[in-house]
Amino acid sequence: MATQHPEIGQVIEKLKTLLKERCSTSDAVREQHGKDESWHFPIAPDVVCFARSTEEVSEIMKICAAHKVPVIPFGAGTSLEGHLNAVHGGVSIDLNEMNEILRVSPEDLDCTVQPGVRRKQLNEYLRDTGLFFPIDPGADASIGGMASTRASGTNAVRYGTMRENILSLKVVLPDGRIISTGHRAKKSAAGYDLTKLYIGSEGTLGIITEITLRLYGIPEAISAATVSFPDIEGAIQSVILTIQSGIPVARIELLDDVQVDAINKYSGLDLPVQPTLFLEFHGSEAYVREQAEQVSNICSEFGAEGFKWTMQAEERTMLWEARHNAAYAAINLRAGAQIWATDVCVPISRLADCILETKKDLADSFLIAPLVGHVGDGNFHLSFVIKKENPEELKEAERLNARLIKRALAMDGTCTGEHGVGLGKIKYMDMEHGEAVSVMAALKAALDPDNIMNPGKIIPDRAAE
């Protein structure tokens, strides 16, 4: 537990007056709000507020600002780098009761939602309109959390990430003022891009309370495919040539042999235990068939066998459920274990090198770590299967993670393609960004001078405090 802020008692009193039973200091509620799905050890906030409107978030912020007490926005709790841990104590604002879809405009292919809306909820709501929102990080995350962490996932190779799919945001500033970062025009050259500044800012600059999203027409036809390779290099060369050829694959995912073995066991598949690509194609029936044939030919060139594709919705769903359950499958490899999930992203020309060197590291380690990747973007994940109570294992995961990140940075990549910085990657910010970290710190200090918004995340402490 963090040291308590001297004025937290007064703040809790004011919050209880404002919110009544929607302000909780119960241990169970606080504990649930001091953690995400990462390996980081939970740190509970002092109090949890359940907000119902932008105006209420603003009122809460004003109380916290007056006492300079930390605030952490909370969505689905599915982040992966300790984003929600209350390292300096304070107030968690739970946004799950703000879960309305406020507006859908089929003509403009856009909609506006509250931050607590989950991505599956949105797509179910949209189904009758013939539209969908493609960004799919795996977990049934909240749209607010996805915006805050610049989430992406399996569809990003075709549709981009949250960065490309948010038109504007409503944000409560650290002093309680409310702003809109933009309008519904598809593009604008009118001033600084505040929308993009808030996307990926992990709650450190304000609280997102409305999100205007781009939507897409549900494709006429969708097909899925799997294909296995004798080696990882062949798989990656196939991906590179597919992307270079301009084939608009909707998904192109790599699973290494360890991960394939894990999902075979967990999801009851019987894939060959080899490096494998999972693919999806969107378009007209003829176009989907054409794309699958082109990719099949490319994969054959690189030694693949058994390219299997299907238009059956059921088979497709089974495949992607297995892919989405990759982390649970990894946990399942070892009784009583947890996952330390990490990700990096490199230019695709360096992806084979990066993965092969990483696999070599793993071969020399006592830890198991299945590898999966959104390889069309040069982005891949390791899931270290650890018992985090064992300091040796934590230390080894830390060592392998550090080597992975240094490798990615040396290849002109990034320490995280989609998981975000949170607590876990903060120590790599200087290494990745150098002098630019001071620019980030200056922005943080300008917008949040008292450092009350999710303090201890993104900006290394020496700079922000």
Which 337-396 residues touch a second copy, going by CB under 8 A? Answer: 345-349, 377-379
In the bound complex, what is the minimum distance in angstroms from residue 246's beta carbon to a second copy?
5
In the bound complex, what is the minimum distance in angstroms from residue 3's beta carbon to a second copy?
26
Binding to a second copy (CB under 8 A) within 260-289 occurs at 287
Compute how many other C-beta atoms are within 10 angstroms of the C-beta atom of residue 308: 13
Residue closer to a second copy, measured from CB, 59 or 110: 110
Please, which residues have CB within 8 angstroms of residue 243's CB and are 6 or more apart in sequence? Answer: 157, 249, 252, 348, 376
Binding to a second copy (CB under 8 A) within 215-254 occurs at 216-217, 219, 240, 243-246
Binding to a second copy (CB under 8 A) within 184-203 occurs at 184-194, 196-197, 199-201
Residue closer to a second copy, measured from CB, 5 or 381: 381
Q: Is 307 helix (H, G, I), strand (E, B) or coil?
A: strand
In the bound complex, what is the minimum distance in angstroms from residue 159's beta carbon to a second copy?
12
C-alpha to C-alpha distance for 162 and 378, rounded to whole angstroms: 17
Residue closer to a second copy, measured from CB, 13 or 301: 301
Among 45, 77, 203, 417, binds a second copy (CB under 8 A): 417
Please, which residues have CB within 8 angstroms of residue 201's CB and are 6 or more apart in sequence? Answer: 148, 458
Residue closer to a second copy, measured from CB, 92 or 161: 161
Q: Which stretch binds a second copy (CB under 8 A): 13-21, 172-180, 222-230, 386-394?
A: 172-180
Please say whether the beta carbons of 143 and 361 come within 8 A. no
C-alpha to C-alpha distance for 330 and 383, rounded to whole angstroms: 7
Q: Is 212 helix (H, G, I), strand (E, B) or coil?
A: strand
The secondary element (H helix, E strand) that includes residue 116 is: none
Among 9, 53, 140, 179, binds a second copy (CB under 8 A): 179
Residue closer to a second copy, measured from CB, 12 or 277: 277
Closest CA to 210 of 278, 144, 305, 141: 144
C-alpha dihedral sign at 266, 268, 270, 271? negative
Quick one: tokens of 2? 């963090």
Residue closer to a second copy, measured from CB, 5 or 425: 425
Quick one: tokens of 16? 């209880």
Binding to a second copy (CB under 8 A) within 122-141 occurs at none
Interface characters, 44-83, with a second copy (x: CB under 8 A): ----------------------------------------
Among 66, 173, 356, 464, binds a second copy (CB under 8 A): 173
Binding to a second copy (CB under 8 A) within 302-341 occurs at none
Closest CA to 167 of 143, 141, 144, 195: 195
C-alpha dihedral sign at 123, 126, 130, 134? negative
Among 409, 450, 463, 464, binds a second copy (CB under 8 A): 409
Q: Does 464 contact a second copy by CB under 8 A? A: no
Quick one: tokens of 405? 């990140």
Among 164, 285, 293, 305, binds a second copy (CB under 8 A): 164
Among 5, 35, 88, 150, binds a second copy (CB under 8 A): 150
Among 425, 452, 453, 455, binds a second copy (CB under 8 A): 425
Quick one: tokens of 283? 């378009």
Q: Which stretch binds a second copy (CB under 8 A): 2-10, 154-162, 221-229, 309-317?
A: 154-162
Distance between start and end Cα atoms, the chain:
20
In the bound complex, what is the minimum distance in angstroms from residue 408's beta carbon to a second copy?
8
Among 106, 124, 306, 392, binds a second copy (CB under 8 A): 106
Please say whether the beta carbons of 373 and 381 come within 8 A. yes
DSSP 39-80: SSPP---SEEEE--SHHHHHHHHHHHHHHT--EEEESSS--S
